Amino acid sequence: MKFIAKPVVIEAVQYLGPASLDEMTKTWEREFKVHNHGVENNICGLVWCSKTDWIIKGIEGEFYSCKDSFFRQRFDQIFENKESGE
């Protein structure tokens, strides 16, 4: 059997070090902190990541990391219309 992924819109922030935590906190309105080569959130726990990995919020609110090379092959950035909120 073969399958194709359903199109889904995700939210993601590239982790470039501790300075990225501010953007993550602002984007998801949750506090994040660095913890032994991972990013920790008080709701979802620890997500292991390296610099340049992307932290993705999944469709059920979970967070996970994705290597930059795979992320760029799989996802294209979309731009929201700020006036319409889309």
Q: Quick one: how far is CA 6 from the chain centroid?
A: 18
Q: Give the residues across from 41 on adjacent strands.
A: 32, 45
The pTM for the full model equals: 0.73
Tens-level pLDDT at each residue, the chain (86 residues): 998 888 888 999 998 888 888 888 888 888 787 776 677 776 667 788 888 999 999 888 888 889 999 999 999 988 876 665 55
Can you give the residue ranges of every domain in the chain? 11-74
H-assigned helices in the chain: 20-28, 68-74
pLDDT value at residue 6: 85
**What's the sign of the alpha-carbon dihedral 53, 37, 41, 19?**
negative
pLDDT value at residue 27: 86
Q: Which of 82, 23, 7, 8 is nearest to 55 (CA)?
A: 23
Residue 2 token pair: 């073969």
pLDDT value at residue 8: 87
